[in-house]
Structure 1
Amino acid sequence: MEVVLFGLFSSEDEELYILDCMAYCMIFMAVGVFVILLFEKLRYGRYSDSKYGFPVNAKFAWFVQEMPSFFVPLCLLVWASPAKTSLLPNQLLIAMYIFHYAQRCFIYPFLIRGGKPTPFIPFALAFVFCFYNGYMQIRYLSHYAEYPADWVTHPCFTAGSVLWLVGWVVNVHSDHILRNLRKPGETGYRIPNGGMFEYVSGANFLGEITEWVGFALAGHSVHSSAFAISTIVMLASRAVHHHKWYLAKFEDYPKSRKALIPFLF
């Protein structure tokens, strides 16, 4: 793998430059997506639309589109030199990323109950994003990221790690609540309650945003920051659309509940 990657670039400096450019491009694209999502919804789940491509089974779509976020990093790590992967800050940041996507790839899809098919275009775009981001994050952390020897005790790393863990717990718990809204054989939608759903309509989105904001704080790089910004743009929009949808569909929907940020937004 190292030979292949170095064959694509004239030097390590060039590859690092490309990784930086990828991060800035992701931020630029996030700005564009933000503008688009002011007028459009992400077309999967309850907002699926056949004009965005043929339907792909929900379990299959989630499994396949998340695969690059796990297997691309895994391949990069198998052939990575130990110069950076033996360092504790790098190991912990890589573990955060891999742990999240192991759950999203091998556990989450197979717990889905009757999810609506995903149109092909959103499915394909998600696959490309996961491949792009998986390479950018882990190639940087496994080969280029350098942190002070005491970085794991730095307030940024400590606070970021705590945020990541809290966000992961909120995300997984919120998904559990959503999966168990219906009894076996039931169809339709119900109001989610419990956990962070007592405060916001997008509790699962709040959890994932918190995760990657924490990751960005702990990672302290343009690459992790770009991922956090992209996540905020896409999932904040999703939370707002869900909130409006709940308010329109259910007359008894809690009026004090916010879309994404408890008590504020």
Structure 2
Amino acid sequence: MDILLSAIFSSEEEEQYVLDCMAYLMLLMAAWTFFCLLSTNVPYGRYAMYGHGFPVNAKFAWCVQELPAFLVPVGLLVWTSAAKTSLLTNQLIIAMYLFHYAQRSLVYPLLIRGGKPTPFMSFALATLFCLYNGFMQIRYLSHYAQYPADWITRPCFITGSALWFLGLLVNLHSDHILRNLRKPGETGYKIPKGGMFEYVSGANFLGEITEWVGFAVASQSVHSAAFAVFTIVILRSRAVGHHKWYLAKFEDYPKTRKALIPFLY
């Protein structure tokens, strides 16, 4: 893979410039997506519109679309001379990224109970995003990110790591609550209760946003910041959509519950 990348980029300076451009492009994509989603929901799950392509099985879609975000980084780490991966800070930040996507692509799909099919267009776009982001994040962290020796003792790394871990716990617990809403044989939607769902309708989304904000705070790069911003844009839309849907469907839905940020939004 080093030979392939050397054939594409004439120098390390050129490759780092391209990685930076990829991050700024992601920020532009986030801005465009934000305005697009002001008037519609991402077409998946209860909002699926099958004019966006034929439906893809939910378990298959989740596994395949998330897998590039795990396999591409692993390939980069195994088959390239990853200059920075011997450094503890880089290892820890890379581990945050890989742990999330190992769980999301290899474990989460196996735990899905039912799940509505995903329109092919949503599936394809998610797959492309995971390819793009997986390469950008790990190529930068494994080759170009440089941190002082005391970085892991600095407030930004400690705060970011704590946010990442807290977000991971909220995300996993919220997914557990959602999976267990229905008893065997039951169908239909129910009001999620417990954990952060007592405060927001999009508790699972809040957890994932917190993870990637923490990741960005810990790594302090435009690449991780772009990913965090893009995540906020997509998941904010989903949380608001879910909140409005719950309020419309359930007369007894808790009126004090917010969409995404406890007590505020």
Q: TM class, shorter-chain normalised?
A: over 0.9
**Per-residue deviation, 1:127:** 0.1
**Corresponding letter in the other structure for 2:121:** I
**In the alignment, structure 1 residue 68 sits paired with structure 2 residue 34:** no
**Are the counterparts in 2 of residues 171 and 206 from structure 1 also a CA contact under 8 Å?**
yes
CA contact (8 A) 1:80 1:142 kept: no
Q: Structure 1 CA distance, aligned partners of 2:138 and 2:222?
A: 13
Question: d(CA) in 2 for partners of 1:123 and 1:185?
Answer: 28
**What is the CA–CA distance in structure 2 between the aligned matches of 1:252 and 1:36, rounded to whole Å?**
31
* Counterpart residue number, 1:93: 93
AA matched with 2:197: F
Residue-by-residue CA offset, 1:39-84 (whole Å, 9 max, x unaligned): 1110001101111110000000000000100000000000232530
Give the letter for the 2:104 counterpart: R
Q: Which residue of 1 aligns with 2:27?
A: 27
**Unaligned ranges ≥5, structure 2:** none
1:1-265 to 2 correspondences below 5 Å: 1-265=1-265
Give the C-alpha shift of residue 174 in structure 1: 0.1
CA-to-aligned-CA distance 1:144-200 (integer Å, 9 cap, x gap): 100011001110000000000000000000000000000111110000000000000
Q: Distance in 2 between matches of 1:118 and 1:132?
A: 20
Q: Which runs of 4+ in 1 moved over 3 A?
A: none
After TM superposition, give the deviation of residue 27 of structure 1 in Å: 0.2
Give the counterpart letter for 1:89 in structure 2.
Answer: T
Percent sequence identity over matched residues? 73
Question: What is the aligned residue count?
Answer: 265
Alpha-carbon separation, structure 1, partners of 2:21 and 2:215: 20
CA drift at 1:209: 0.1
- The 3-state SS of whatever aligns with 2:263 is coil
For residues 181-233 of structure 1, what are the alpha-carbon distances to aligned partners after superposition, in whole Å with 9 as ceiling and x for unaligned?
00111110000000000000000000000000000000100000000000000
Looking at structure 2, the residues matched to 222 and 137 of structure 1 have their Cα atoms a distance apart, in angstroms, of 10
Amino acid at match of 2:32: G
Alignment RMSD, CA only? 0.6
CA distance in 1, matches of 2:154, 2:94: 18
Report SS of the residue matched to 1:121: helix
Which whole-Å CA distance do the structure 1 matches of 2:51 and 2:172 have between them? 31
Cα distance between partner residues in 2 of 1:144 and 1:241 = 39
Q: C-alpha distance in 2, partners of 1:13/1:95?
A: 25
Aligned counterparts of 2:97 and 2:252: Cα–Cα separation in 1: 39
Shift of 1:89: 0.7
CA 1:64/1:82 → structure 2, altered by over 3 Å: closer, same or farther?
closer
Matched residue type, 2:129? F
